[in-house]
Amino acid sequence: MTTPDDGKARDDGETRALAALTASGLAHTVVRHGPVRSLSEAAAARGVTPGDIVKTMVVRRGDDDHVLVLVPGDRTISWPRLRTLLGVNRLSMPDAAGARTATGYQRGTITPFGSLRAWPVIADQRVLGHPVSIGAGAHGVAVLVAGDDLVAALHATVADVTDPAAPA
C-alpha cells in the first residue's frame, strides 16, 4: 500500500492476513467493525460470545524462537501446562516490538495467517467444536471460521493450555 504523505510502501496487515487465509483454503467470513475497548465489545461487534473470540498470543521460547498460542477470549495461558507441553523450563511474552518483529503484526492484530514466519501453532482444546472469530491483521477486522477447520488449516497442536480468566 502506498501513502500519499511520503510515497513509501507500508505493510498492510489486513491484506497480508486475508491473502494467507484465502490461500489456505479455509472457509471464512470477514467481519469489519469500529474500535472496541473490551473483549465484550469485540464479541458484540462480531456477533459471538467472548469465549468464541480466539486471541493469538506470541510466546517466546528462546532467541528467535517463538510459538503462537490460540487462546479463547475468556481464558488465559496456563504457563505450567504450556511449559510441560513444550518441554521447556522458561517461556516469556515478547514486548510489543518483539511480537511485531516475530509476526509482522502489531498487538491486537496478530494472527497466524500471513505471519512473517510460520511459527508452530498451539491451539487450546476449547477452540474446537464451534465457530470462532480470529483477528485478521488489522484493528477492527476479524474472520469467522469453524474452530476445527482453523486448527486443521494451521496444523496446530491441540492441548489444554489455558485457565479461566480472572473476572474483570
Measured distance CA(46)–CA(39) in Å, rounded: 11
The domain at 13-164 falls in which architecture? Alpha-Beta Complex (3.90)
For residues 124 and 69, the answer to whether their CB atoms sit within 8 Å is yes
- Pick from 65, 56, 83: which is nearest to 119 by CA? 65
For residue 100, the number of C-alpha atoms closer than 13 Å in the C-beta half-sphere is: 9
pTM passes above 0.75: yes
Residues counted in the chain: 168
Written as tens digits, the pLDDT of the chain (168 aa) is: 333 344 434 468 999 999 999 999 999 999 999 999 999 999 999 999 999 999 999 999 999 999 999 999 999 999 999 999 999 999 999 999 999 999 999 999 999 999 999 999 999 999 999 999 999 999 999 999 999 999 999 999 999 999 999 876
